[in-house]
Amino acid sequence: MSTLTASPLAPLLEQLFDQADAVTSPAFSGISRDERERLMRSKTEYLDLYGRLKDLWLPVSRETGALLYMLARGTRAKNIVEFGTSFGISTLHLAAALRDNGGGRVITSEFEPSKVAKAREHFDASGLGDLIEIRQGDALQTLSIDLPPSIDLLLLDGAKSLYSDILDLIEPHLAPGAMIVADNADYCPDYLQRVRASGSGYLSVPFADDVELSMRLR
């Protein structure tokens, strides 16, 4: 048994995924598809958009959660950074891998206070809270300071338009062989162009329907 598949985490995650599937948001459904697409790609209105989405869980899929655990375990990660905590489902998968690796730290950032509060409850219930540092505020500020010298895994799952900006902050700390998982990266074409470019220092491939998986080569 692993931390991911044992109690208390396994039943907690099942409960959280079920809750996430059941939640709807009138604020979100009231935004037209074209407006939603525009806001998802905006570098100036992301706080407004995600403020409107504060009731939605916006979790990774069950499959992506398992992928995160496997990547962190397989690379024996010790230091992980996450952009976009939401209610903490992805964070829990990463922290479970750290527990099974013998310890470490997930630094995760979320600007919506109500989500931070609920995520903390979930972290406490999981027994993994000692491995997680949650930073409240705009990640362009919270992830610009006090990072470990070497980061083994980066998860990008916040405002899609900021993926390149967040990578700018984290890149100097990425260890050779560090993995980057970018959820719904199609909304940030400049990020995809960057990590897929020849000579970029990354090896990058699309993975499943909604994930870009990249490795830092140097």
pTM (2 d.p.): 0.90
With a CB cutoff of 8 Å and minimum separation 6, the contacts of 182 are 156, 157, 163, 188, 191, 195, 211, 212, 213, 214
Burial pattern 90-110, b for ≥16 Cβ within 10 A else e, equals bbbbbbbbbbbbeebbbbbbb
| pLDDT tens string 93-137 | 999 999 999 999 999 999 999 999 999 999 999 999 999 999 999
Cα→Cα distances 140→26, 40, 143, Å: 28, 17, 6
The tens-digit pLDDT sequence of the chain (218 residues) is 799 999 999 999 999 999 988 876 565 566 667 766 666 666 766 666 666 667 766 788 999 999 999 999 999 999 999 999 999 999 999 999 999 999 999 999 999 999 999 999 999 999 999 999 999 999 999 999 999 999 999 999 998 899 999 999 999 999 999 999 999 998 889 999 999 999 999 999 999 878 999 999 98
β-sheet bridge partners, residue 179: 153, 215
CA nearest neighbour of 113 among 78, 85, 75: 85
